Structure 1
């Protein structure tokens, strides 16, 4: 009775020449000797859903990865910053400036006071410039002109002398008022000898106005050595007066002192009641 048949690998090794061309059956082929089948990717999703999968998919075990190298543990910090917030570091000179101000409070006070004084002087100079410009404009626009006086008539009486003046105000944009100081006098002289003294009456004139003024002088020609009666030689007299003139243009007022000197030549000063004026020249000037 024959025992069970053993596989050839159990009894003896076959030589390469004795190997059969027929492949052995799969039941005795060890699985470990089979080469790993190539891995197949699963079919696309649309293939799985819309096509017939006639070939079975072999389940392949996942490939074993080599052990990773040892990675040192690192400490990680996560900082969350809002997107609408920007952080920046000021330059070092700013920090130095702040530190100096913090350490020197007295210096800060002095700097503040000096800046206030500087602005005060700037504003003061600005207003001074404006006031100066306005004053300069008013000076050129409202500039008083010297008044014009002329002797029109002279009458000699036993105890007084009457003189008629023609006064004109050539200033076109300012009126003028004349008055005489308490100590002021009108004097009429002949060769430095006084013939009469008197006061100029207070009067007002409009701009570009002209008026006649009568002045009475106390005195006579008896005390002076005059030419003899009937002489045709003209007599030269000097008339002087100092007047206070106030020029006005609305709220603007300018005070002036006017000195008037008249050189007049008369004929028939002692023979007739009405003296003839041969020539006259009156000059005016501002004293201030």
Structure 2
């Protein structure tokens, strides 16, 4: 096997063909520019004697090895970052703020509770304002108007009086039902003296409806100091009705207590078979 090629040395013998004037070939090894090579230790003697490796161990010194390849120079790379990519670093104030929050857990807990209470009160106030606005709208939109009553006919019988009334419901968006309220009464008086008492029959009206109703009052003129027979002077009577009015428009309901007072002037209350109504005026009033 051919051993490694030896470099030219200053101690080697010159050949006969070399000219005496040629300078000797000398090889210089730059030891300062190359890293130190790892030392190659020979195997121990006993291992060499019993090893199956029969190849001869090279005995060429390291100084006779050829020089290694030159170390490549370091290269410089230029990395271009697109302009639309912005790498942002948070300011140090954020780190200080987070550190304070981390160091004060109780304060953070109290701050969270106060924020929850604040939001609760804000939601409560908004809910109250919404509810108030809704009630106000319903109050103005579904606001019952006072009904209008009028006496159209009045007649006298031996033991009772009969009155025909016209009832108008001016509320355009709500129907109404009239009924006698508890302990309510329909009374007819003359100079604060009772002539008759009766009951108002139940009446239901649609929005903007008009109906006629007949009221019968038990009583007579015998117990009252009436004008003498044949007098042509009108007699002033007072008809008073106490009712309960229930207004309704879908889910919206309004309950009212109603008092109707009618001042009626009539002629022929005692003599004529047919009583003439000279004038009448009915006024309605809500009690609640």
TM-score bracket, shorter-length normalisation: 0.5 to 0.7
Indicate yes or no: 2:156 matched with 1:133.
no
Is 1:230–2:264 an aligned residue pair? no
- 1:152 alignment partner in structure 2: 152
Whole-angstrom CA distance in 1 between matches of 2:120 and 2:274:
71
SS at match of 1:143: coil
- Using the TM superposition, give the Cα deviation of residue 147 of structure 1 relative to its aligned residue in structure 2, in angstroms: 0.5
For residues 110-157 of structure 1, the C-alpha deviation after alignment (integer angstroms, 9 at most, x for no partner) is: 221221121122222223222333322222222211100001112222
Distance 1:198 1:117 in 2: 61
| C-alpha deviation, 1:217, in angstroms | 1.2
The structural deviation recorded for 1:87 is 8.1
Check if 1:91 corresponds to 2:92. yes
Q: Tell me the residue number matched to 1:73.
A: none
Uncovered stretches (5+) of structure 1, i.e. residues with no partner: 1-82
CA spacing shift, 1:97–1:145, aligned 2, 3 Å:
same
How big is the shift at 1:216?
1.1
User: In structure 1, what is the equivalent of residue 218 of structure 2?
Assistant: 218
Match of 1:163 in 2: 163
Cα deviation for residue 90 of structure 1 reads 4.2
Deviations, residues 5-32 of structure 1 (Å, cap 9, x unaligned)? xxxxxxxxxxxxxxxxxxxxxxxxxxxx
- Quote the Cα distance in structure 2 between the aligned partners of 1:286 and 1:227: 35
Aligned to 1:108: 108
Aligned-pair distance for 1:226?
Answer: 0.4
Structure ID, larger Rg = 1
C-alpha distance 89-121 of structure 1, shift in aligned 2 (>3 A): closer
Distance of 1:85 and 1:147 partners within structure 2: 77
Report the CA distance between 1:85 and its aligned residue: 11
Question: What is the alpha-carbon distance in structure 1 between the residues aligned to residue 90 and residue 142 of structure 2?
Answer: 65
Do the aligned partners of residues 85 and 281 (structure 1) sit closer, same or farther apart at CA in structure 2, a change above 3 Å counting? closer
Give ranges in structure 2 of 5+ residues lacking alignment. Answer: 1-80
What is the DSSP-based 3-state SS (H/G/I as helix, E as strand, rest coil) of the residue aligned with 1:167?
strand
Cα deviation code 1:226-272 (max 9, x no counterpart)? 00111101110111112111111112111112211111101111112
Shift of 1:187: 1.3
Partner of 2:8: none
How many aligned positions are there?
A: 205
Cα distance in 2 for residues equivalent to 1:182 and 1:225: 31
Say if 1:269 and 1:108 are closer, same or farther in 2 by CA, change over 3 A. same
Q: 1:89 to 1:260 in 2, by over 3 A?
A: closer
The equivalent residue for 2:246 is 246
Match of 1:4 in 2: none
